[in-house]
Structure 1
């Protein structure tokens, strides 16, 4: 059993090292942070969505923006589209699961907002529809996904594709990148805290 622990940790480290060694990912993350900070500075917001573990990531990331990451500072406008059970169940019942996030983007999204879609496969139908709606509404679209980018690549202004096909390793990298995104936005807006 300890061999399994070692092997899994080795896979996690290898994925993180691949992300660390990729300057394109670094540049893209900085651009996403700039766009997000600019949106927040001008009274706009960040909307975030994902399914399953990526839904948990959406909620975690939004909590970091609204509450804090490293130090006390003003709350930042961010909304996880994964949290309102009344809205989610009504949309699922009335329009189907593929409309879960699209309908919320339609209601809450405005030109100048940022929509961050998290999908390890890059091909989740409800994520694709939400990205298309966000684009139609003049939002800056961002995707976090796995190797290859899936179908969401064509719908994103900025895309980070973690170089892995293993869902858990992609999710581990996403969480680290999400924390770094929040850290970058804090630095842009508040300086060194």
Structure 2
């Protein structure tokens, strides 16, 4: 895998200047990719991001709480979202947010006793209600436990927001997600970088709305 991503590290070249030039070229290519992807998302979804932020602002004003979830790297991003909203620092307004990936006892108990597909849905069933917010992140859009969570959130009349990659996968096929933002890329790395930009932009827009 590393040889495909960083072929210059596996080359037999001993010329330091050549290696550094390859590192520079690789870095510049990746920077150009993420800049282009962010521009595409902004041009396509800018107005929808503003509309989503307004809805979120209304939900928070009415006492809504944010629940975030994802798997793997998206689990870490879900925790980052919750931390950003709950403890933004400075003079920004803290907002109630909880990542459903942080309680290892709950996640492992549900996985062991019932199945991994319900680890987020069961928590939303326990904590969520009308007016609350469910935000799920997936690079593929095909995570079954996210689909189950969104279905549970819809049953509970929560505001639903999805961040996916590629073509959106099953999340794009799910009828009822209020706001779905898809990062059109086949690279997991670029998708996650673009998703980070999207939820930071949403947070900034919400702070302004409030």
> What is the TM-score when the length of structure 2 is the normalising length?
0.84
Q: Is the 8 A contact 2:33 2:190 kept in 1?
A: no
- TM-superposed CA distance for 1:38, in Å, is 0.9
Instruction: Give the structure with higher Rg (CA).
Output: 2
**Residue in 2 that maps onto 1:7:** 26
Q: Aligned in 2, Cα 1:9/1:121: closer, same or farther, shift over 3 Å?
A: farther
Is 1:184 aligned to residue 195 of structure 2?
no
Once residues 149 and 100 of structure 1 are traced to their aligned partners in structure 2, the CA distance between those partners, rounded to angstroms, is 21
**Residue in 1 that maps onto 2:13:** none
Q: Aligned in 2, Cα 1:47/1:171: closer, same or farther, shift over 3 Å?
A: same
Once residues 146 and 47 of structure 1 are traced to their aligned partners in structure 2, the CA distance between those partners, rounded to angstroms, is 20
Once residues 74 and 52 of structure 2 are traced to their aligned partners in structure 1, the CA distance between those partners, rounded to angstroms, is 18
Residues 150-159 or 119-128, more deviating: 150-159
Structure 1 residues without counterparts, runs of 5 or longer: none
Structure 2 residues without counterparts, runs of 5 or longer: 1-7, 9-19
**Residue in 2 that maps onto 1:66:** 86
- TM-superposed CA distance for 1:9, in Å, is 4.4
Q: Is the 8 A contact 1:28 1:159 kept in 2?
A: no
**Residue in 2 that maps onto 1:173:** 194
Q: Aligned in 2, Cα 1:177/1:20: closer, same or farther, shift over 3 Å?
A: same
Is 1:112 aligned to residue 142 of structure 2?
no
Q: Is the 8 A contact 1:128 1:152 kept in 2?
A: yes
**Residue in 2 that maps onto 1:85:** 104
Q: Aligned in 2, Cα 1:104/1:14: closer, same or farther, shift over 3 Å?
A: same
Once residues 128 and 102 of structure 2 are traced to their aligned partners in structure 1, the CA distance between those partners, rounded to angstroms, is 16
Q: Is the 8 A contact 1:36 1:46 kept in 2?
A: no
Once residues 106 and 5 of structure 1 are traced to their aligned partners in structure 2, the CA distance between those partners, rounded to angstroms, is 49
- TM-superposed CA distance for 1:126, in Å, is 0.5
> What is the TM-score when the length of structure 1 is the normalising length?
0.90
* Deviations 1:73-98 (CA, angstroms, capped at 9, x unpaired): 33201111110111111111111111
Q: Is the 8 A contact 2:100 2:120 kept in 1?
A: yes
Once residues 187 and 45 of structure 1 are traced to their aligned partners in structure 2, the CA distance between those partners, rounded to angstroms, is 18
Q: Is the 8 A contact 1:116 1:142 kept in 2?
A: yes
| Root mean square deviation of aligned Cα | 1.6
Once residues 38 and 111 of structure 2 are traced to their aligned partners in structure 1, the CA distance between those partners, rounded to angstroms, is 35
Secondary structure of 2:60 counterpart: helix
Is 1:159 aligned to residue 156 of structure 2?
no
**Residue in 2 that maps onto 1:121:** 140
Q: Is the 8 A contact 2:57 2:206 kept in 1?
A: yes
